[in-house]
Chains A and B, each alone.
Chain A
Amino acid sequence: MTSERNDLDGIEELLPWHAAGTLSRRDAERVEDALNRDPELARRFDMVRDELGATIQLNESLGAPSARAMESLFAKIDAEPKRRRVSLGLGARITEFFAGFTPGAMAYASAAAVLAIVLQAGVIGVLVSKSGSEGGYETASAPTTAPGVGAFTIIRFAPQATMDDITKFMEMNHFSVVSGPSGGGLYKVRVAEAPLSSGDFNTLLQKLQGDKVVGFVAPTR
């Protein structure tokens, strides 16, 4: 009984966020369940909704700043020292890459990616088996970079992979981007600090190809 009360108290604290629609799906479902079971809680939720409405009305009645604010800002920006163009981090580059697609293009790219993954899986399988012990295959489209130490692949991330997915994938595998994206959104990625045997490399490629974050992967030097 006490734990049920505590649970309801915890739920009651979440009501403002439920009204604003900012709870996680799991918490929102918990609150909805409690609201359906407890008429008193539902009555209190109505109060929260009144508060929400009044707060929005109040803030909307505050008006907007005059043009002076923008003029003042850009006068200050113009007085700032000229900035050197900075190179963007991986996150920003990937965000730029995805932001370049229209929704229609994204839908097309997703469909194309599904097909490409199936075809590429076959192609990579053949390429990898052909390469045998010779230490890997280098595609004509691979970005040309100075030779470095380690094992490298080129990767195109799946269009449906989110920023979060890609970041986690890179961190979990301890991979680092060497260059890219080149045409077609290909990145050269260091997948190991030291060269891998062809057997190990093939195993790694198969694992990567099975990852939902990866649209295309191939070895490179």
Chain B
Amino acid sequence: MQTSSDEVLISRIASGDRLAMQVLFARHHVRVYRFVLRLVRNEATAEDLISEVFLDVWRQAAKFEGRSAVSTWMLSIARFKALSALRRRPEQELDAEMAEAIEDHSDDPEVTLAKKNKSAVLRDVLNALSAEHREVVDLVYYHEKSVEEVARIVGIPEATVKTRMFYARKKLSELLKERGIDRGWP
């Protein structure tokens, strides 16, 4: 069976092909949803946003120039939508979210370790990173984006992408240390 490339689907979508839109949605909606969810941390908001992201894809397909991968382009749109939604969110919600993140620190390191294995603690601290750091970590590790692609999605220079990733990893080490895991780096 022949699988159409994303670029071919976009060119069909530009001509108003609804089926091509369904294929593109089926192929990418879960990853786009997870990317947005990690930024906005609210499932209902993330669901609303992905339909907005794909609606933009439908509307702007004719303008897509192929200078980046389709998935990179969609993540750029998703990021813009997520940040706009965060700006609209009431402050009380953000405070509750902060409290949730801070709560993670309340366990004594020994208790934390006793409760969870190292991998689970690592997942916990990945959640405790700032939105900026979470974003770059997810793009590199989960969405498999190159330095250049991350730079395009986030809108920062490539050198900054590398530095930001480095500092995100450094922060991970600090958070792990607070929970009793010393990686001996940095």
Contact = CB atoms under 8 A, between A and B. Distances in A.
Contacts of A72: 47-48, 51
A123 B109 CA distance: 80
B83 interface: no
A73 B118 CA distance: 40
Interface stretch (A52-60, A141-149, A197-205, A207-215): A52-60
Interface string A101-118: 110000000000000000
Given A62-B34, A73-B55, A102 B2 contact: yes
Interface stretch (B73-81, B93-101, B161-169): B161-169
B29 interface: yes
Contact of B122 (A51, A74, A102): A51
Nearest to A68: B47
B178 interface: no
A22 B145 contact: yes
Contact of B58 (A70, A80, A102): A80
A85 B46 contact: no
Interface string B165-179: 110010010000000
Contact of B140 (A20, A68, A73, A91): A20
Interface stretch (A92-100, A129-137, A185-193): A92-100
Interface centre among B10, B25, B140, B166 (most CB of A within 10 A): B140
A175 interface: no
Contacts of A57: 119, 123
A12 B162 CA distance: 10
B14 A51 contact: no
B27 interface: no
A76 interface: yes
Contacts of A47: 183, 185
A69 B47 contact: yes
Contacts of A183: none
Nearest to B54: A73
A77 B58 contact: yes
A126 interface: no
B174 to A, nearest CB: 13
Given A73-B51, A88-B11, A99-B8, 15 more contacts: A13-B163, A16-B140, A51-B172, A54-B122, A55-B137, A55-B142, A59-B34, A64-B33, A68-B47, A85-B15, A86-B14, A88-B14, A88-B15, A99-B2, A99-B5
Interface of B: 2, 4-5, 7-8, 10-11, 14-16, 18, 21-22, 25, 29-30, 33-34, 37-38, 43, 46-48, 50-51, 54-55, 58-59, 62, 66, 118-119, 122-123, 126-127, 137-138, 140-142, 144-147, 162-163, 165-166, 169, 172, 183, 185
9 contacts: A16-B141, A16-B165, A57-B123, A65-B46, A66-B47, A80-B59, A84-B16, A96-B11, A99-B8
